[in-house]
Amino acid sequence: MQRVLIIFFASILFAPDGFSQSSYITREGAVSFFSSAPLEDIEAENNRVQAILDNSTGEINVRMRISDFRFSRALMEKHFNEKFMESHIYPEAGFSGFIEDFNTFPEDEIPGEVTVRGALTIHGVTREVRITGRLEKIGPHYVCNAVFPVRVEDYDIRIPRIFTRNIAEVVEVTVNFRLAPVN
């Protein structure tokens, strides 16, 4: 018995990040948004989103820099960062929450559609949200996808009157992550 305990504690001490085998991570997740308004459609994508999933609890945390969103036109990107998102004041957005009922899923039988509940922080404002999306285990990876609405006024994002016909009140957000096991 003593030998088993020594082997167990040695494996913890020498394993990278201790129990990290239950963590899955990406530093290249994608979050995009689409705004459809009477005068123009606006879309942007951020491919530098960081996310981590704890496979033992279903806890998921996401972090992104606002200035990493890329637009088709430089002026849109400038207005987004300076006038709307004020990325010099609120440089990051994030999510921290849990996949509901995650501990009831056998690893080889993830249901596909899942609900995530947690705190979404944008523009310095944190709100509780519930988002439905897809979670799949493909080989050693978890693949997460979701599409959900974000109401800009809920996060104190002010749209100057001159832009009210250019920007939608509700923006469609799309999330795509491929999370790899931490080695």
pLDDT of residue 74: 94
Whether 60 and 53 have beta carbons less than 8 Å apart is answered as yes
pLDDT of residue 2: 40
pLDDT of residue 78: 94
- Of 142, 156, 173, 127, which is closest to residue 31 (Cα–Cα)? 173
- Rounded Cα distance between 20 and 80, Å, is 37
Compute the C-alpha angle 50/51/53, nearest 5°.
160
Domain ranges of the chain: 20-181
pLDDT of residue 181: 94
- Of 148, 154, 146, 159, which is closest to residue 51 (Cα–Cα)? 146
pLDDT of residue 104: 67
Q: What parts of the chain have a pLDDT lower than 70?
A: 1-21, 104-109, 165
- What is the architecture, at CATH level 2, of domain 20-181? Beta Barrel (2.40)
